[in-house]
Structure 1
Amino acid sequence: MTQTGVNSNYGRVLYGLGISPEDIRDMESCFAGVPGLGKLLDNPAVSRKAKHRVIERIFPESLHPFMKTVSDHRRAEQIPGILEAYRGYDRQARGIWAADLYCVSAPDPEQYEQLKEFVKRECGAGEVELTVKKRPELIGGFVLRVGDREYDWSLRGRIRQLEQSLVRR
């Protein structure tokens, strides 16, 4: 299974547990405040019992079973990806779609809103969180990713299409 698949599975389980947002924030704070925590909880040289004691001391009680399982399966270093997947399931449950816009330069506010409306129409989304990521290698235009869909309106993408059509002839 890929790293993304593992993160998605753990993220789905974490979301399904119904842990409070405050406890999730506490977990994020623990990992942010102690950079080596994931390595410690994944370290095979540290006893399972010692890891469980650490978990019981620093994490909210509602997270103990989940964190013990994560640690027992040596997945604690993947917590950032697991939390990203968790947030995706949370957004999805609230009817919010996340979209990534890769572009050479940021769109103006009007274009930004038009792209959000496009995602709403295409995906039936109630609300859209659009994240802009600069990618100068696109040359011009943009690539829009929503879930497993990709809309490539970049100059690089158009050049690639032209090359493929010329090769087929």
Structure 2
Amino acid sequence: MNEADIDAVAAIRVRGWQHAYAGIVPRTRLDAMTVEDDAEQRRKWFARPRRRSTDLVAVDAADVPVGWICFGPYRGRSSAAGREEASGWEEEAGEIYALYVRPDLIGRGAGRALLAEAHALMGLDERGQGFRTVVLWVLEANRRARRFYERSGYRADGGTQDDVYDDVTLTELRYRHALRRCDR
């Protein structure tokens, strides 16, 4: 991803939220999202000098972004019971922060390709960052995303976190996947 992709990525993210979280996240929250606001946030994030994340885009035949993934070191988020106790794996863990595909292209392979490339870049081989494990957070009620990640080798590991959207509390589940030497 480069700076020229930010507007397209913002559109993918906003439309992705509005599609994936319809009936889960309150409609008022989804309706309030704008591509312009999201693009402004993406620009600030992208310009951070010590940013440790990596952003990739999947493009169509015309070189237009159709999917986006953002990943980096595991942030060690809180669990519902408070700060999680370190058990050792966290030090060598990466995290998928976001993965979205244009809603009309879901199920056609862009998400799988982005995830595979992220695994390769995070992994243990000469291309990778040396992470042994990758984690991500997914809304408990987002069954479609949970099935996608489970088919990709992720398993819920018991970590939870609650997020509040317009006074509605939604639980996120932490999913974990062990990276192999060449996980592509």
Is the TM value for this pair above 0.5?
no
Give the shorter-chain TM-score range. Answer: under 0.3
Greater share of strand: 2
Which is higher, the Rg of structure 1 or of structure 2? Answer: 1
Greater share of helix: 1
User: Taking structure 2 as the reference length, what is the TM-score of the superposition?
Assistant: 0.22
